[in-house]
Amino acid sequence: MKSTINDVAARAGVSIKTVSRVINNEPSVRPATRKKVMDAVEELHYQPNLAARNLAGTRSYTIALIYDNPNAYYVIDMQNGILEACKARGYELLIHPSNSKSDTVNDELRALVEHSKVAGVVLTPPFSETQSVIDEVNKLNLDYVRIVSSGAAEGDEDNCIQVDDTAAAFDITKHLIEHGHQRIGFLSGGEEHVSTHGRLDGYKQALQQAGINLAPELVIPGEYSFDSGVAGAKALLESDNPPTAIFASNDEMAAGALFAARLMHIEIPEQLSIVGFEDSPFSRQTWPKLTTAHQPNSEIAKCAAALVLNKARSKGAAESAAANKEAGITKVFVPELLVRDSTGDSPAG
């Protein structure tokens, strides 16, 4: 038989109201009492009826994730990280895929507030970097957190979880330069993503620091997809002066570049080094495995969800800041270089 809130109250030796306050994460509960209630919840495998709570009062126990990303691995990591934070605080997650190029995005946001009663929203790129979407969220007086490349956070840092793409891309390019590579191709992601520009900036900065002139023909525009990686790599490798290394803007593109090189009978890394970005499963499913930048998407998403929940529950900026500090929320992430077998010394010597 499914346990009820009455069973939890009886097991913990407290009132039903106290159980409700603990489940709702209200601050005015003594730590010892909170522990007794949570122990009873765990022992009885009690699960609150969150939908009923949403309907019963004016306070919402749901946050929304808004995304438009072709990379299924990225989306799954985001969902898992946010769900972990929601579960810890007794909230539900509403997952809302949308088309960033559509004219109906703001209408969808209004519908989430009016019909789904969401307490807050986590915005991922490109929505998190689109000013019209941010303006609409502010107009709706909706608590939100943006997951953004660092360049898109200026002036709104309190509402952002930042990923320093530029610093990570600098480290990746520097790694290739240290292995003797002078001609390094760059496969660019979609222009609508601020991360694309951040990764390109890091690549350019590393070349400049090493005294290597940027060759415009080595920068190939594209999209964050396998097919784009194949096409971009072919364009580079079929040129009169091909690169000895390719930096792809994400692992899916890097896997495409690796596939193209294999079709052209180019040995990796003996004849060509290839690197990706993000450390998605693509980077571990190739042969050889890809050198990349480890981007902890689940942890990023977990921090974003915890941040928006603190905003939704707090009465003011000071209380929210204190809750963020207590939760140990990381607000700036720098993806770390992860060296695997797809990079080696330049064959040019």
pLDDT digits (tens, 9 = 90+) for 151-164: 788 888 889 999 99
pLDDT score of 50 more than 60 = no
| Confidence band for 48, pLDDT divided at 50, 70 and 90 | low
Q: How far, in Å, CA of 280 to CA of 298, rounded?
A: 11
Gyration radius from the chain CA atoms: 24
Per-residue pLDDT tens over the stretch 185-234: 999 999 988 999 999 999 999 999 999 999 999 999 999 999 999 999 99
Pick from 48-52, 135-139, 270-274: least confident = 48-52
Q: What is the pLDDT of residue 28?
A: 67
Q: How far, in Å, CA of 184 to CA of 6, rounded?
A: 65
| Confidence band for 58, pLDDT divided at 50, 70 and 90 | very low
Domains defined for the chain, CATH in brackets: 5-48 (1.10.260.40), 60-163+296-333 (3.40.50.2300), 165-294 (3.40.50.2300)
Q: How far, in Å, CA of 322 to CA of 68, rounded?
A: 32
Per-residue pLDDT tens over the stretch 276-334: 999 999 899 999 999 999 999 999 999 999 999 888 776 555 455 555 555 568 999 99
pLDDT score of 56 more than 50 = no
243 token code pair = 């690169």
Chain centroid to Cα 315, Å, comes to 27
Tell me the average pLDDT across 262-287: 95
Tell me the average pLDDT across 159-187: 97
Per-residue pLDDT tens over the stretch 115-134: 767 888 999 998 999 999 99
Q: How far, in Å, CA of 306 to CA of 332, rounded?
A: 14
pLDDT score of 57 more than 80 = no
| Confidence band for 24, pLDDT divided at 50, 70 and 90 | low
Q: What is the pLDDT of residue 201?
A: 97
Q: Which of 294, 281, 293, 306 is nearest to 147 (CA)?
A: 306
Backbone torsions φ then ψ of 178, nearest 5 degrees: -65, -20
Q: What is the pLDDT of residue 150?
A: 85
Give the residue with greater pLDDT, 70 vs 314.
70
Q: How far, in Å, CA of 305 to CA of 157, rounded?
A: 15
Mean pLDDT, rounded, of the chain: 87
Amino acid at 268: I
Give the residue with greater pLDDT, 53 vs 23.
23
Q: What is the DSSP string of 292-342?
A: EEE--HHHHHHHHHHHHHHHHH-SSHHHHHHHHHHHT---EE-PEEE--TT
